[in-house]
Amino acid sequence: MTTNQRLTPGDLAPDFTLPDADGAAVSLGDYRGRKVIVYFYPAASTPGCTKQACDFRDNLAELNDAGIDVLGISPDKPGKLAKFRDAEQLTFPLLSDPDRAVLTAWGAYGEKTMYGKTVVGVIRSTFLVDEEGRIATAQYNVRATGHVAKLRRDLSV
């Protein structure tokens, strides 16, 4: 398996409808007319993913004030996402993509290097989708720690 086609600014964001931590359907189209950060992470309740999610939580008010919503997507099932959300008091939707179809469509699933070995898995990635549903920013292989602060600087938020 090779890395999927990556999205670039100007591309139409691949639409999706996925269950959230409570099993309710959430669609990218629900956010049309607003900017939304869509970020992909490997697994709920792991150290790096917890740090990244808590950084988004801690910066959510400023992002929302700038007209930006946040969605987190992982292959975890809704039940695991609910435990993660509740344990970390996360206040933005966590979406479940267990068959990895959305991850793949966004280029966030494929070959990556981990501890010097090539493996297939979730590529930690972050996107800013504009009000018209187009990719404004596409970042692949982001770091879990410090990423949200860098993103806020890049977006002047």
| Catalytic machinery residues | 49
Give the whole-angstrom CA distance, residue 110 versus residue 121: 5
Q: Running DSSP on this structure, what letter comes out for residue 58? A: H
Give the whole-angstrom CA distance, residue 66 versus residue 138: 19
Render 64-103 in DSSP notation, one character per residue: HHTTEEEEEEES--HHHHHHHHHHHT--S-EEE-TT-HHH
CB-based contact 51:88 (threshold 8 Å): no
